[in-house]
Structure 1
Amino acid sequence: MKSLTIFTPTFNRAHLLPRLYNSLKNQTNQNLVWMIVNDGSTDHTDEVVQSFLEENVLEIQYIKQENAGMHGAHNTAYKNCKTELNTCIDDDDLMPENAVELILNKWNSLQQIQEKVSGIVALDAHFGGELIGTKFNEDFTTLEDFYLKGGKGDKKLIFRTEVMKQYPEYPIFEGEKYVGLGYKYLLADQDYKLATLNEVVCWVDYQPEGSSNNMWRQYYKNPKGFAFIRKEQMKISKSNKRILMDAAHYVAHSFKSKNWNFLAESPKKIITTLAIPFGFVLYLYTLYQNKKQGGFYQR
């Protein structure tokens, strides 16, 4: 059995899949399965994937489903993953040729403590080679501690599949297509640390229409999903400053979803009460930013 599943949620990005496919074909260590989760694409994704399958170079697991959003595709990936490790590489990203080798070498070096960590956290970089954010200063960390101590930038997470399967799935809210992926990562943070790898294992190409460049639009379209993750973060966060920020966002998303019971449902009622003025301003700002980002087609 292979050791690592690289799963790729995709929605109408058939034109980008070949370059990711080529980067996986060229890996110096081929101990991998590529799982493609077609999240309701209406373009020629089927034909592109069929051409990969016919080459018979990589072990490919192809799953099709109705459009459920990024978090719904992650639910499907975790449910179907059978390897010890997994990582998500988006359809607009690439892996350096030695990425799988770096990941598995690091994992093998942790043989005596593998069951005590949730996995590995490694570095992302732009296509030009510029590192995204900062490197790690510790051998082991949680995501929350890394960012609380001043760490910056997107990072690549490689989880033990067993760990991801022990936590609840991302919730699906009717009419919405986005719940923050940090939910399961936050839960894992409470029970395990991540081993750090100061090596780039993913080259990131943020697309103009992607979630990262349209977050205000996402806030507007998915208020229940965002209120959910903010509420969960309030329950767990160690930082009062972070709890206040989450509370303000929770209030803003609750206004947008017309959930007038938000105060009763809040796990931090006093802080949420204090955050109401900030949340209302944030709600108005979300409406303003949504107009500026109009026309975004949601995944």
Structure 2
Amino acid sequence: MFISIITPTYNRADTLHRCYESLSKQSFKNFEWIIVDDGSTDDTSETVSAWQRESPLNINYYQKPNGGKPSAVNQGVKLASGEMCAILDSDDALCHDGLKTLVDEWESLSPDVRDKYWCVCALVEDSITKQVVGDLFPADHITITGGEFQFKYKIIGEKFGLMRTALLKKNPYPEAEGYKFVPESYIWNRLGRQYQYICINTVVRTYFIPTGSGFGNLSGKANRIRNAKGLTMCDVDVVNEDLPHWFFSSPVFFFKRAAQLSRYGMHSESFLRQYNSIGTGWGKALVLLSFPLGFTLYLADKLWFKYYYAPAKAKLLRDTVS
């Protein structure tokens, strides 16, 4: 099997070596590495060029204007020629047998049943503690739907998957003006409703928790506020598609997601439009019920941004200049 490893990157020349070193040591060799440079201004290009000259790895390097991680992933998927692909973040690393473990699990499935699945999902470890990040699966080699993943077994925490490239090509991340980030769960949720996961309790990836100021962290509060349209889109999708089937399994989860819809809808100034896109009466009722919490979180964000984030970032810039 030939697979594609896609790494979207933006100004990560100082961490990208983790991917390179771990891919160089993989016991499974039949893969290409697609690096999508999302408008970096550091020495990413020079770093990758040196690897291309010296390494036997099949490294494809693509540069594009900055558009955010979803657009970089979409570009990588377009370029991918492997039957399966994986998204490896530019600051993380794969375990020595990580790819082999995933490929072996996929190939253990009979070819006539593979169309039922879209992903082989495995565990992630913390780079410092070496402990599993998040929950184990309820059993090894378990087959579950996306709904069971979230609402029956309530599995949380970082995971890593080998995914069917053809399905990702047909289901790209949405791209539009006004945001550069959509949670990865948006695609995982949508494909998980149509196809199943096969899950294994084996660690295949090492996760490096971001350090420093956190201003560039995609999952940080400032970037979530800045890209609120993408988050609201994900919340609307969950309320529309999952609420009718799974509410009584996880009522607190849906209450929180409805509150987040209000919170980020107000940040993106699109709350009414997003509210009107909710397709069920009880979905709208849940959003209204949770609105006071969402509004409170929105106000807290505004205060945090004004009195903590903006002054801290200004100080960091002054210190950098001096």
Structure 2 length normalisation: TM-score? 0.85
State the partner residue of 1:145: 148
Q: Distance in 2 between matches of 1:283 and 1:52?
A: 45
- Cα displacement (A) at 1:182: 1.2
Whether the aligned pair in 1 keeps the contact of 2:178 and 2:229 (CA below 8 Å) is: no
State the partner residue of 2:276: 264
Question: Does residue 228 in structure 1 map to residue 239 in structure 2?
Answer: no
Paired letter, 2:269: K
SS of the aligned residue for 1:35 comes to strand
Match of 2:176 among 173, 176, 182: 173
Q: Distance in 2 between matches of 1:219 and 1:105?
A: 37
Structure 1: gaps of 5 or more residues:
none
Structure 2: gaps of 5 or more residues:
317-322
- Cα displacement (A) at 1:211: 3.2
Paired letter, 1:270: A
Whether the aligned pair in 1 keeps the contact of 2:240 and 2:278 (CA below 8 Å) is: no
- Cα displacement (A) at 1:150: 3.2
**What does 1:118-129 align with in structure 2 at a 5 Å threshold?**
118-128=118-128, 129=130
Q: Distance in 2 between matches of 1:260 and 1:64?
A: 35
Q: Relative to structure 1, is the Cα distance of residues 239 and 287 closer, same or farther in structure 2, using a 3 angstrom cutoff?
A: farther
| Root-mean-square deviation (Å) | 2.0
State the partner residue of 1:46: 45
Paired letter, 1:211: N
Q: Relative to structure 1, is the Cα distance of residues 6 and 260 closer, same or farther in structure 2, using a 3 angstrom cutoff?
A: closer
State the partner residue of 1:282: 297
Match of 2:266 among 237, 255, 271: 255
Equivalent pairs: percent with the same residue? 27
Task: Write out the 4+ residue segments of structure 1 that deviate beyond 3 Å after TM superposition.
Answer: 210-213, 288-294
Q: Distance in 2 between matches of 1:71 and 1:88?
A: 11
- Cα displacement (A) at 1:213: 5.6
Q: Distance in 2 between matches of 1:104 and 1:227?
A: 34
Whether the aligned pair in 2 keeps the contact of 1:220 and 1:290 (CA below 8 Å) is: no
SS of the aligned residue for 2:187 comes to helix
State the partner residue of 1:130: 131
Structure 1 length normalisation: TM-score? 0.91
Q: Distance in 2 between matches of 1:260 and 1:130?
A: 40
Paired letter, 2:294: G
Whether the aligned pair in 2 keeps the contact of 1:16 and 1:92 (CA below 8 Å) is: yes
Paired letter, 2:277: E
Aligned residues: 294
- Cα displacement (A) at 1:193: 0.7
